[in-house]
Amino acid sequence: MNSLTFSIIQTNLFWEDKAKNLEMLEQKIASIKSKTEIVVLPEMFSTGFSMQPEKYAENMDGICVNWMKTIATKYKIILTGSLMIKEKETFYNRLVWMLPNGKYGFYNKRHCFAYAKENEHYTPGNNRFIASVNGWKINLQICYDLRFPVWARQASNQLTPEYDILLYVANWPQRRSHAWKTLLTARAIENQCYVIGVNRIGTDGNDIYHSGDSMVINALGEVLYQKADEEDVFTITLQKNDLEEIRTKFPFLADADDFNLLQVPN
């Protein structure tokens, strides 16, 4: 299909309160009146960026994953966002990609944010996850991953680009918002893809303020959407023809340096 429609939910989050967050987020999803295919929630949408997975993490049959399954089925959408997941005695910051039929894929955050001691509580993932939707390919990543361009880089040894959209869900603080906006733009330009960055707003339980600055950027680095300091539910339709026109007119990926990104099983 030539087009793909996303709804971005930029919102404040109730600190470590799953019930309130799930109730609030369903209200926002229900408020989307135009047709949409994919709804994107921020990083750790059920708790905020908490370092207490021992207390709040759940398994893949837990309340939040089942909530995602119910919402995706009820509203006939793909629903995605990250949350704390426990497998045996290991914790992950995991992005879940929930389909309307209840099936799902997932991506474990590769780069744990040592500055906030995320690396002391969560285990990094080892594999990228590129989802397929109606002929589109979407590379799914989380927050701090944005600072590491090799992890997002289009493969240089393929005839066609690996993906069309690079999507980040985040809890990115306002005091580093310049880096957020700059790196999102850079990832779009260097990978000749759309980039979608969905961030929270508000002050979290550690008294850290988030300005949101959720963005949609095209392959030329042009900003199609940006919102700061306000809650917003925004729906946008991306066009494949526009992306292919840019790639054809400016075939820069053909000149990219060769490299191999090694991935190992978890």
Alpha helices in the chain (DSSP H): 18-30, 53-56, 63-75, 149-152, 177-191, 240-249
φ, ψ at 255 (rounded to 5°):
-100, 10
Active site residue 112: no
* Chain-centre distance for alpha carbon 154: 17
Selecting among 18, 109, 118, 193, the annotated active-site residue is 109
Selecting among 43, 112, 118, 193, the annotated active-site residue is 43
Alpha helices in 104-214 (DSSP H): 149-152, 177-191
How many residues comprise the chain? 266
Active site residue 43: yes
Closest CA to 53 of 13, 94, 95: 94
Helix H, strand E, coil C: the string for 169-186 is: EECCCHHHHHHHHHHHHH
Contact 49, 87 (CB under 8 A): no
Contact 2, 222 (CB under 8 A): no
Closest CA to 181 of 237, 239, 228: 228
Q: Among all residues, which ones are annotated catalytic?
A: 43, 109, 143
